[in-house]
Amino acid sequence: MSVETFIVQLHDPLTTNKVEALTKAVVLRGGRIELVANKGAFVVSIDHVFSDELRAMPIVKLIGGVGIRKRSVPLIKKRIETT
């Protein structure tokens, strides 16, 4: 059981019932809604075994894996002189 991040696109027209159905499906399977974009796109984190269940939902137009890479932050060092 490994949690993966997916982008989910819903069929048009976007309705409150469709959003609610997707939200319930994700939360009931122990997942999280990470991001909601415009025009029915969602980024969800869910166990990979449930991705086929989401894909089979009639309201889902597209589901695909998302790779989120770590960003490296440069280390800034400043020498402090003591007097």
Q: What is the DSSP string of 16-71?
A: HHHHHHHHHHHHHTT-EEEEE-GGGEEEEEEEGGGHHHHHHSTTEEEEEE---PPP
Tally of residues, the chain: 83
| Site of tokens 């025009």 | 39
Token representation of residue 55: 């894909």
CATH class, range 3-65: alpha beta
Q: What is the pLDDT, as a whole number, of residue 76?
A: 83
Distance from C-alpha of 51 to C-alpha of 39, rounded to nearest angstrom: 21
Instruction: State which residues of the chain have pLDDT below 70.
Output: 1, 68, 83
Give per-residue pLDDT as tens, 51-69.
Answer: 889 899 999 998 888 776 7
Please report the pLDDT score of residue 23 as a whole number.
93
pLDDT attached to residue 1:
67
